[in-house]
Amino acid sequence: MQTLSTQDTGGTGDTSEDIPNDECGVFGVWAPGEDVSKLTYFGLFALQHRGQEGAGIAVGDHENIVVFKDTGLVSQVFDQSILDALQGDVAIGHTRYSTAGGNSWENVQPMFRTSPNGTDLALAHNGNLTNYMELQAKAIERNLIPQEGVKGQGSSSDTAVVSALLADAIQGDTTVLEAARQLLPTIKGAFCFMFTDGHTLYAARDPHGVRPLSLGRLERGWVVASETCALDIVGATHVRAIEPGELITIDETGVHSERFAEAPRAHCVFEYVYLARPDSVIEGRSVHASRIEIGKRLSRVEPVEADLVMPVPESGTPAAIGYAEESGIPFKQGLMKNAYVGRTFIQPSDTLRQLGLRLKLNPVREIIEGKRLIVVDDSIVRGNTQNKLIKMLREAGAAEVHVRIASPPVKWPCFYGIDFASPGELIANNGGGHDEAAVRESIRTMIGADSLAFVSTEDMIAATKQPAQNLCTACFTGSYPLGLPDGNPNAELVRRMQRGDN
């Protein structure tokens, strides 16, 4: 095995963006005779929205596994010469946003381990584990990871722990598949794992199916990816979703499936609202169609007279289109987004930091001036962005700014793979108590809108066309279908909130 790397460039700039972030995207391909590294590279491009802090590809050729990974965007990590060096028949790739473990090279995936019987293993993971502390203690007890690694002297991610435990189980005549059968039922939480021994591609989805994972067919192989948009970009035909609790293996004999656990489904509803790309399909439902429908339903909540409907691009656009179609109010793009502003390695000066939102969004004065605006956004987390945005729109001459949100108020943190703020940082918890009208009025005052309305949880669920019992709505309702993790400060705050403690 080889691990290649450019020099660790350190931090990725200002990380205080007022947006929810998904932890990761995973991509795997088994296709002898194809350029699997470049297929994975393009697949990761399609999944870049799921993580911008690091990217990596592991390629196996039956003899060796070669891993290349680094901090940064996919386009910053890889170039033609690197991809040309990654030759083989099977590959897995990963884009990372850190929720477990810091943002350092050691925590970028895929992870690599060699088992006691000499089997090389590369593994990538999307999700968050609720029994991480238990698994970590087990790995430390077996001397699989050093205690100092947990304290920051190396990888501290849950993926590193799972990689160590899986590799350790491959002893003697035990195969990778047999080791996975032993380990997977002991892992709790939200996860989609992709791993390879350089010969076979393996993929597993947690028994609740919190995060999406799909199987696609190439002319000469197979692809597995977090979202169907990644299948599209490499020319794969979408075959089906990987089922919750399913473990699949792909090799020269084809695709083989088995179940390692059963549990009630709990697909993340926020994938439909914000996280997934709109051109993806999740559980048979178009994400774009779901967002259009949310916008239509949102338009019926406290209608207001206005001159135009405009989105906060890009995530608010489908809902704004639906709102405009249903209300009959014209749709216009009043904000222009700089498509080339992403996470950066350049630390902004205080002067540039004060520009804040203008680096990404700029109002079109001729569209906005003198108009009564309905501004549609996907969610409100801390409220900082909406506050700055409304000030910007008023400076551009907006007569009125009515904000409409395509999800309910976010009141609870996520422990299943989304990096929300802590409960005290969520704007919905900073006034109004348990009275919904008071909470909404408090938020409206803090962001400076003329009016504010949210879509209801019921309408949001209806737009997904999924049974309500099959969805996780924890961040909106405080009902956690996978339970709460031990040893997590935010989880302790949630327990207090659920008990009604001050």
Residues contributing to the annotated binding site for [4Fe-4S] cluster: 268, 414, 472, 475
Please determine, for residue 260, whether its predicted confidence score (pLDDT) is greater than 90. Answer: yes
Q: Which pLDDT does position 337 carry in this prediction?
A: 87
Q: Is the pLDDT of residue 334 over 50?
A: yes
CATH architecture of the domain 21-265 equals 4-Layer Sandwich (3.60)
Confidence label for 499 from pLDDT (cuts 50, 70 and 90): confident
What pLDDT sits at residue 1? 44
Binding residues for Mg(2+): 315, 377-378
Confidence class of residue 101 from pLDDT cuts 50, 70 and 90?
Answer: very low
**Catalytic residue positions, numbered:** 24
User: What's the average model confidence in pLDDT over 297-306?
Assistant: 97
Question: Of 249-253, 325-329, 438-442, which gets the smallest average pLDDT?
Answer: 438-442
Whether residue 59 contacts residue 36, with contact meaning beta carbons closer than 8 Å, is answered with yes
CA gap 429, 305 in Å, rounded: 29
Band (pLDDT 50/70/90 cuts) for residue 58 is very high
Instruction: State the pLDDT at residue 376.
Output: 98
Cα angle value 43/114/207 (rounded, 5°): 55
Whether the Cβ atoms of residue 381 and residue 426 lie closer than 8 Å to each other: yes
Report the pLDDT value the prediction gives residue 14, as an integer from 0 to 100.
36
Q: Report residue 105's pLDDT band, with 50, 70 and 90 as the boundaries.
A: confident
Please name the amino acid found at residue 11.
Answer: G
Lowest mean pLDDT among 65-74, 130-139, 149-158, 332-341: 149-158
Residue 348 has a pLDDT of 53
Mean pLDDT of 115-132: 95
Angle 48-198-86 from CA coordinates, rounded to 5° = 55
Mean residue pLDDT across the chain: 89
pTM beyond 0.85: the answer is yes
Q: What's the pLDDT at 360?
A: 82
Measured CA to CA, the distance from residue 219 to residue 467 in angstroms comes to 35
Hunting for tokens 């070669």 — which residue is that? 66
CA distance 225 to 248: 13
DSSP 436-464: HHHHHHHHHHHHT-SEEEE--HHHHHHHH
144-173 confidence digits (pLDDT tens): 988 765 544 445 688 999 999 999 999 999
Q: Which two tokens stand for residue 195?
A: 């791993």
Residues 293/286, Cβ–Cβ less than 8 Å:
no
How many residues appear in the chain?
A: 502
**pLDDT > 70 fraction of the chain, expressed in percent and rounded:** 88
Report the pLDDT value the prediction gives residue 487, as an integer from 0 to 100. Answer: 81
Domain ranges of the chain: 21-265, 286-338+350-499
Minimum mean pLDDT range among 151-160, 251-260, 291-300, 366-375: 151-160
Report whether 20 contacts 385 (CB < 8 A).
no
Please report the pLDDT score of residue 205 as a whole number: 98
pLDDT given for residue 23 in this prediction: 65
The confidence band for 129, taking pLDDT boundaries of 50, 70 and 90, is very high
Topology, domain 286-338+350-499: Rossmann fold (3.40.50)
pLDDT 10s digits, 372-421: 999 999 999 888 889 999 999 999 999 999 999 999 999 999 999 887 76
